[in-house]
Amino acid sequence: MLFRFVLTALIGMVAVPVVLATDGTVACDPSLRPVEISESGTVFTSLNYNGTAPYPPNQLCEYKFIGSVGQNVILTFDDIVLEECTDCNCDYIEVYDGPDDTSNLLTKMCGNVNTPVALASGADGFVRFVSDESTQGTGFSATFTVGNAACEGGVVLTEINGTFVSPNFPLNYGNSEDCTWTLKVPEDSYRVDVWFDSFEVEDRCMSDYVKMVDSTGNVLQTWWWEEGPQDPNVIFSSRSGQGDIDITFTSDSSVTRNGFRGYWRMGRYLPGTVPSRDI
């Protein structure tokens, strides 16, 4: 069952209830989009989605997701069947790390995608779905939740670049945190770069710390507060052939701090310099 939310719109001086559906009827309406979704656990879909019927052509649909301070928006796509085309320029889904399409683009998906998870760095997220005039698939179904999936069993991230944050960032993380972000490379020849622009953990050696670990369990880098605040111009890189990378965060049972915000990017050839903050 799809959740529906009732808001009140003022037309003249009359209060009129407006039903906001998450099945695409509002998200795809030019006069109403984006549909705003704030209840964790909400399922949202493309128009006409039932697993068999195609979505309509020439659609522009927008979904805006709202969490609370200290939360992360988590979007889990349970089913995606779209038209397949070069560079995803026909029918596609875009996921943005913020409240609208001026935010950083996390991922762009088309074709038949194997249930990815898109993790926003903060309490807002934005999704756009576009279809052209030809060849429609059955669409998509996804679930909006809030929390920090990395600290609730771990999260696998397939995006080429993005952001990861400690629980509750920029507020204090909790005691006894155990978080894992797995950066899944498209192929073993890809390298992974990681860097931070904010980093504060408990100021005792190896009490609270972040590690970068390759696919064989080899620890490539460890960060803790005795090193001092992280220099945003310093990049830590895996080598070609080291495969998927785990970023792990562990905190002990006492003393917490504001935590961290980090970035990653993947590629065969990486420039060796930190990009501008539009990543």
Residue 153 and residue 124 in one domain: no
Q: What is the pLDDT of residue 52?
A: 78
Two structure tokens written together for 79: 């089913």
Q: Considering the domain boundaries, does residue 91 fall inside one? A: yes
Please determine, for residue 28, whether its predicted confidence score (pLDDT) is greater than 50. Answer: yes
Question: Residues 252-278: pLDDT tens digits?
Answer: 999 999 999 898 999 987 766 665 544
CB 130, CB 101: distance < 8 Å: no
pLDDT band at 11 (very low <50, low <70, confident <90, very high): very low
Domain count, the chain: 2
User: What mean pLDDT is reported for the chain?
Assistant: 83
Residue 91 and residue 173 in one domain: no
Domain boundary among 117, 147, 177: 147
CB 194, CB 274: distance < 8 Å: no
Residue type for 166, please?
S
CA distance 277 to 262: 11
Residue 92 and residue 204 in one domain: no
Residue 129 and residue 56 in one domain: yes
Element (H, E) at 212: strand 209-213
Residue 143 and residue 172 in one domain: no
CA distance 151 to 160: 21
Local structure of residue 269 (DSSP, 8 states): S
Residue 137 and residue 26 in one domain: yes
pLDDT band at 246 (very low <50, low <70, confident <90, very high): very high
CATH, residue 132: 2.60.120.290
Two structure tokens written together for 43: 């399922």
Residue 127 and residue 174 in one domain: no
Q: What is the pLDDT of residue 101?
A: 95
**22-26, 165-169, 219-223, 225-229: which is most confident:** 219-223
Average pLDDT rounded to a whole number, residues 184-195: 91
CA distance 256 to 114: 37
pLDDT band at 8 (very low <50, low <70, confident <90, very high): very low
Residue 44 and residue 92 in one domain: yes
CA distance 241 to 259: 30
Q: Considering the domain boundaries, does residue 7 fall inside one? A: no
Please determine, for residue 10, whether its predicted confidence score (pLDDT) is greater than 70. Answer: no
CA distance 243 to 229: 28
Host domain of residue 33? 22-147
Residue 135 and residue 163 in one domain: no
Domain boundary among 147, 167, 182: 147
Q: Considering the domain boundaries, does residue 6 fall inside one? A: no
Residue 82 and residue 191 in one domain: no
Is the pTM value of this prediction over 0.85? no
CB 182, CB 156: distance < 8 Å: yes
Q: Considering the domain boundaries, does residue 5 fall inside one? A: no
Please determine, for residue 151, whether its predicted confidence score (pLDDT) is greater than 60. Answer: yes
Among 230, 229, 233, residue whose Cα is nearest residue 273: 233
pLDDT band at 55 (very low <50, low <70, confident <90, very high): very high
Two structure tokens written together for 68: 């609370």
Q: Considering the domain boundaries, does residue 2 fall inside one? A: no
CB 1, CB 50: distance < 8 Å: no
Q: Considering the domain boundaries, does residue 189 fall inside one? A: yes
CB 106, CB 79: distance < 8 Å: no
Residue 43 and residue 120 in one domain: yes
Q: What is the pLDDT of residue 154?
A: 87
Q: Considering the domain boundaries, does residue 33 fall inside one? A: yes
Domain boundary among 147, 176, 201: 147
Contacts of 46 (CB under 8 A, 6+ apart): 24, 55, 59, 61, 129, 139, 140, 141
Is the bond into 170 cis (omega within 30 degrees of 0)? yes
pLDDT band at 233 (very low <50, low <70, confident <90, very high): low
Is the bond into 34 cis (omega within 30 degrees of 0)? yes
Q: Considering the domain boundaries, does residue 14 fall inside one? A: no
Question: Residues 74-112: pLDDT tens digits?
Answer: 899 999 999 998 889 899 999 999 999 999 898 999 998
Q: How many CA atoms within 13 Å lie on the side-chain side of 206?
A: 2
Please determine, for residue 206, whether its predicted confidence score (pLDDT) is greater than 50. Answer: yes
Q: What is the pLDDT of residue 5?
A: 29
Residue 153 and residue 143 in one domain: no
Q: What is the pLDDT of residue 12?
A: 38
Q: What is the pLDDT of residue 235?
A: 87
